Amino acid sequence: MSTQTQNLLEFRLPDIGEGVVEGELIAWLVKPGDEVAADQAMFEVMTDKATVEIPSPRKGKIVKTIGEPGQIINVGDVVVVIEMEAGAKAPITHGSHKTEAPAAAAPAIVEAPICAPVGNLPEPEEIEHAVNAFGRILATPATRKAARELGVDLARVPGTGPKGRITKEDVRRVAEGGVTTAPAPAPVAATVQVAAAATAAPAPVKAAAPAIVSHVPELEERIPLRGMRKKIAEKMAQSKQTAAHFTVVDEADVTELVKLRTDSKEAAIGHGVKLTFLPFILKAVAIALKEFPMLNASLDEATQELVLKKYYNLGVAVSADAGLIVPVVRDVDKKSLFQIAREVDEVADRARNGKSAIQELQGGTFTVSSIGNIGGLIATPVINYPEVGILAVTKIQKRPVIRNDEIVARDMLYLSLSFDHRVVDGADGVKFCNRIIQLLENPTLLLMA
């Protein structure tokens, strides 16, 4: 292809999830000179939500890749330059109201579809859009993909979703020749937010930590802190620096629970379910959370409001090769033990294999960490911020205890619960723990919920 017919497209890191402003480049799946098809994965990027593959918006040839694995890239940064075929339509930048045109004779650099290409629609009146703090129109990745496929420019679509967000239905309506008049509510709040962000005083600069000087470098190995391990480090540090941790440790006599699980194993297998103790524990936690709503809350730092959540989505800590991952089982309070067992097995398996969808890692209200298969007596778990509570359970083991003035062997389980003391009072934390113990010691109560 001659330079006279070249059409270069700068692909920018798209908005890939709510609240995500940057990601770590994990791996390149293409290299300069490779031919790529539309929607072919080009690179992997890790955000604080998940690791995702980013596809090419057009068929073409990779001219340049920007960045090395381990590098942090911001939403909107140019990551790949693609040479499109002669005559291919180039996406126009977001604010423009020009229609798509065939590639120009002279070389042209155009912005990649972090926003959708413009469709062949009549010139509309100016539409005000709700935008995020970076000035980007509010729309989910799925909506952006639909806009690309239908040849619709999001700048010409009035949003009717929450807070002015553009929905798939909005895109389809415009693609079918629907009205493009802006909806009544104007995105004043978003405009103010952008202005405030632009004029805010810079954050104080933190002094860099001194480098650790080695005295025996030949006996040491240095591994770059990147990928999942880096995200875990950041999340743990954020939790300890923000939440005021306090931990309660108690024990439960789960002899009856062990018996119930043993009796239920065959029935579970008949339903294609592997029944562990974890589903019983999750069910008990969900019941207790309903009775102690402050444990199912979060603190909105920006508005200084407590957010009480009326849904019970429990995170399950999973140890994977890449590090600790917390997929979420939704609406635990509404599901049977077999349903919970099946979903725990499914989300944990995807997490271990790095196949978790972003949605599976979002929306948790409380976390349970089970380390019983590994060992340990007690733990002091770190809160999965911005949640306000986490439960760690260790191994069940027979121990001598006193019952009716006699020493007997019982199956005992230690429970360690950490809470954010800014939100949860100590008395409520202990009562919450006591309720979980009561449910685990009398497991038939779980079958009635």
Q: Identify the burial level of 198 via C-beta atoms within 10 angstroms of its C-beta, where 0-12 means exposed, 13-18 middle and 19 or more buried.
A: exposed
**Spatial separation of the C-alpha atoms in residues 179 and 307, rounded to whole Å:** 38
User: What's the per-residue H, E or C state across 34-78?
Assistant: CEECCCCEEEEEECCCCEEEEECCCCEEEEEECCCCCCEEECCCE
8 Å CB contact between 106 and 118: no
**Spatial separation of the C-alpha atoms in residues 385 and 260, rounded to whole Å:** 34
Write out the two tokens for 205.
């600069």
Active site residue 421: yes
**Spatial separation of the C-alpha atoms in residues 309 and 313, rounded to whole Å:** 10
CA 398, distance to chain mean position in Å, is: 39
Look at the chain and count its residues: 449
Spot the catalytic one: 94, 129, 215, 421. Answer: 421
| Unique residue bearing structure tokens 């635990």 | 332
Active site residues: 421
